[in-house]
Amino acid sequence: MASWVQTLLFMSILFPALVECKIRHYHFAVVLKNATKLCATKAIVTVNGKFPGPTLYAREGDNVLVRVTNHVQYNVTIHWHGVRQLRTGWSDGPAYITQCPIQPGQSFVYNFTLTGQRGTLLWHAHISWLRTTMHGAIVNLPKKGVPYPFPKPDKEKVIVLGEFRNFRHLEACFCLHRMWS
């Protein structure tokens, strides 16, 4: 028993990155929420009732576990845009390609490790029109003690750009366009 503990201690000294990596747990509840944008209120599909969805924070080398529970009537998948899926292709999110969609009332755990990457990435729904309201950021910080590949910023702010469609407004524009054409 003592030799096993000594070996483990010796390995942690040789490979400190193995000790520093963490498992980051997140829960995404896919729910409907009323949102008012462009002078119209409609029910949109969100993650945890937020639009845009929550920002994930992790460090390079961390293992990320995201449990997605689908509480809406539509099938759902999440794609981790820009995340290298090394030996975790089933967690990449394209519906009917790398995974079956998460059906209403069901859950799925995405499990991947952020390897060889730093910076801000994007997650979004990867099925149907849901990607317009189900999206957010992944902030992938460098390992502790490892500098950024550029001068460290004084402050960081995540800005997520998206779009919101008011189909009635678009229909009126198309109608006016046809009238004037």
pLDDT of 20-79, one tens digit each? Answer: 679 999 999 999 999 888 788 888 999 999 999 999 999 999 999 999 999 999 999 999
More confident residue, 68 or 151: 68
Instruction: Write down the CATH superfamily of domain 22-180.
Output: Cupredoxins -  blue copper proteins (2.60.40.420)
Structure tokens at 101: 């969609």
Query: Does residue 17 carry a pLDDT above 90?
Result: no
The pLDDT confidence band at residue 180, using thresholds 50, 70 and 90, is low
Q: State the Cα–Cα distance between residues 137 and 158, nearest whole angstrom.
A: 7
Q: Are 59 and 46 in contact (CB under 8 A)?
A: no
Domain ranges of the chain: 22-180
- Does this model's pTM top 0.85? My answer is no
The pLDDT confidence band at residue 170, using thresholds 50, 70 and 90, is very low
